[in-house]
Each structure stands twice: as C-alpha cells, then as structure tokens.
Structure 1
Amino acid sequence: MANNTIITIGRQYGSGGHDIGKQLAEELNIPFYDKALLERAAKDSGLCQEIFENHDEKPTNSFLYSLVMDTYSLGYTTSSFSEMPLNHKIFLAQFDAIKNIAKEGPCVIVGRCADYALAEFPNVVNVFLHADLQDRIVRIARRHDLTDAKAKDLIIKTDKRRASYYNYYTSKKWGEAAGYDLSLNTATLGIEGTIHMIREFVAYKEKEHERI
C-alpha cells in the first residue's frame, strides 16, 4: 500500500498530527517530513536552517503575499531570487522543497501548506486532523508540563497562527473539511484508529486508480 501516494497532514495543535504522521510513515515504510522539511528547504536553497525555523508557519502581511504569489505563478530566476525579501525567499524555497520531495516518491508531509503546494500532483491524499479542545489541552499540558490554562492559551495562539499562514498562502480555508480528502477527529478515533482510517483511504484510492 502507498506505493506511490503522498500524504499531507494539516492539523490543529494538540491533535497528535506529528505523532500520527510519523507512525503512519513508519508503518508504510516511507519518508516522514515535519521539521525535517525545514532542513531540506535550507539545504536546497542555501539559506540558514534557523531562518526557516524562525518563520515556520507564521503569517506574513497581505502585500508580501501578493508579491510572493505573483512571482511563484510566473516563475523566477536565480538572480531574482537573490533580490527577494527574506520572507519571500523562505516561502518559495519551502514550496520548492515540498515539490522536490514529492517527485522523489511517496512520503508523509505535515503542515507547511503541502496540500496546496502539491495541488497539481494526482497521487496526493490530503488529511486534516482535529480534536475536541479539552482533549488537546490535556495532551499539550502533559507534553509540555503546563497548566491547563497555559496549554489552552498556547493552543489558541498556535492554531490562529497556522490558520493565518495557511489562509494567506492558499486559496482555501484552514481546517475547512471541503478542502481535504479526509477530516478526522483524533479524540474520537485515537492515534491507532486515525492511522487505520488514513491507511484504508489510501488503499482504496490506489485500488481505484489501478482500475482506471
């Protein structure tokens, strides 16, 4: 299964997206990219990895967004890339890295608007993971040794940042079910159940593709 399928995972903070993506990739024996995507983008672009980490899934202003999208849609040269603002370079380098990774074969990619970057790839399954707020509070409070109040505040701020970033850089709305192939509640399904559902969907899609 997943012989040629790229799985992208969007996620609410605290829904277990990283753990689910990593375990899923291990079970399918395919590469997994979360923070490793930043390392790849830095290596391919020649920019410092710390710069990518500092700007990771953080929104920019709408004016810069319009500049980025115009350049990305029209294409750009090496010389024009060197003259771009830093945020512009980071955006383009990260999207290029996602596309290059996808061309290398099946994998699991978490976050970073990967579903949008790979919109033209036919062999992609886009998943969004969400969970009830209280379940996410418990997970984050335990993982980072926080009070429930601080965990809740961190969750709200992180989700707001991710939504702003995604909504700027894509033509879709972050977390809206219609924009994904699967939208799953990890609090209801659990880690194993969520992985099972994704694997079943991927297997079905690949089977149907073979019939065409």
Structure 2
Amino acid sequence: MTGNLVITIGRECGSGGRLIGNRLAEKLNIKCYDKELLTLAAKKSGLCEEIFESHDEKPTSSFLYSLVMDSYSMGYSTSSFIDMPLNHKVFLAQFDTIKHLADTESCVIVGRCADYALAEYPNVLSVFISGNMDEKIKYISKLYDKTPEKAKDIIVKTDKKRSNYYNYYTSKKWGDARSYDVCLNSSVLGPEGTVDAILEIIKLRERNRAGK
C-alpha cells in the first residue's frame, strides 16, 4: 500500500463520467482507467478480454458472491484460481488489478467498485458524478445517435446494471451520498467545471491534512 493519489469515479449513465475522468487525468498528468482496466485484468489472469467485457459490471448470484469474498479474504493460489467459476475469476482479477494499479501509480479509475476495492488506501478520493435526466438524454442521444426515447431507455437500463453490481459487491449503496467522499452534478457544473471542482477538492483535502 502506497501514498499514490487515486481518484475513483462512480457515474450515472449520460453524466459524462468517463469524459470527466479522462480530462481530470490529463490535468493531473496521470492515466485514466475505464475499459482499459479490463485489458489489464485479462492479461493478469490469462483470460481473454471478451470474457471480461461480457461480464463487465454485472452482478452474480449471492451464493457465488459469498464464494468470491471468502476466497479473497483467505487468499488464493494459482491452482485454486483455475478451478473457480468464470464470474469468480473475473471479479477477483479486476479487484486485484485495481489494487495493483493503486500500489504502483497515481491514477483515475472509472467504475468497477474501485472505491470499495481501495477502501483501506489512505490517499483515495471517491467521487460520484450524477446529472439531470434531460441533460443526460441529450448527451446519450448525441453520443450514440439515438432518439430521446431510446437514449432514456439506455440510461435507465445501464444505471440499473451498475447499481445492482455495486450494491452486490460492496457494503454501500450506489449513488447514495454516504457511499462516497464527494458527489457532484455535472449538469450544474458542466464537464470542465466538474473537473475543476475535483481538483479544488484535492487541494482542500491536502491543506486540511497538512493543518492537522
């Protein structure tokens, strides 16, 4: 465990979370990991990347979840990893990849319960980005060239999937202000304003720590 600065970003669909994460990383001169995390986890585990994409941020059964957490808390060997169910392997590989990134570099990580995986790390700032529905519909409509009705359907289904995944694997609730250090509405601040707000919060936190 190191003192690398890691910003984790939870986000509603259409809030521009990935865009904000990338711009934040650029201003901090560090890397942003979103889908890139799947590639790293695939290489680390030896599983093909398509498997990670098909299981990305999708919850599993409560029984399998208990197996995952029991194995993680007790540690696991290479041989036991080979015998694990597929969803089990995907979860553990992503969990370990997130921890490895935090141990080796400062970075921004979007989604995948990164805030929960790094709960014991001292220099992590967990952020949740929300947005007003009308603005999110406009964003998704433009991004994917969809009608407003289809865009709203994408938003609702994507957020439900993300919520189910997060609530399954953490002891917290997705989107609840109590689950994160900071919650920001990108519809109010705009993408650049949201980035600037996070940068200012990082400065304020460091100033607060220095004053203690």
Instruction: Please give the range of the TM-score, normalised by the shorter of the 2 chains.
Output: over 0.9
Measured after TM superposition, the shift of residue 75 of structure 1 is: 1.3
Where does the alignment leave 5 or more consecutive residues of structure 1 unmatched?
none
Question: What CA distance in whole angstroms lies between the structure 1 residues aligned with 2:208 and 2:83?
Answer: 46
1:203 correspondence with 2:203: yes
Segment of structure 1 superposing worse, 63-72 or 24-33: 63-72
CA–CA separation in structure 2 for the residues paired with 1:204 and 1:40: 32
Aligned to 1:111: 111
Task: State which drifts further: 9-18 or 67-76.
Answer: 67-76
Aligned residues of 2:4 and 2:102 also touching (Cα < 8 A)? no
Note the 1:1-212 alignment, pairs <5 A. Answer: 4-212=4-212
Once superposed, what is the RMSD of the aligned Cα atoms? Answer: 1.1
How many angstroms apart in 1 are the aligned matches of 2:130 and 2:169? 21
Q: What residue identity is the alignment partner of 1:62?
A: S
2:172 alignment partner, SS class? coil
The answer to whether the Cα contact below 8 Å between 2:4 and 2:104 also exists between their aligned partners in 1 is no
Instruction: Point out where structure 2 has 5 or more consecutive residues left out of the alignment.
Output: none
- What SS does structure 1 have at the residue aligned with 2:98? helix
Offset, 1:61: 1.4
**Quick one: distance in 2 between partners of 1:60 and 1:130?**
25
- Aligned residue pairs total 210
Question: Which secondary structure does the structure 2 equivalent of 1:109 belong to?
Answer: strand
Contact 1:5 1:202 in 2 (8 A): no
Change (3 A) 1:205 1:4: farther
How far apart are residue 211 of structure 1 and its match?
4.0
1:120-170, CA deviations, whole angstroms, 9 ceiling, x for partnerless residues?
100000000000111101100111010110000110000000000000000
Q: Secondary structure at the match of 2:57?
A: coil
TM-score by length of 2: 0.96
Contact 1:5 1:123 in 2 (8 A): yes
Identity of aligned residues (%): 61
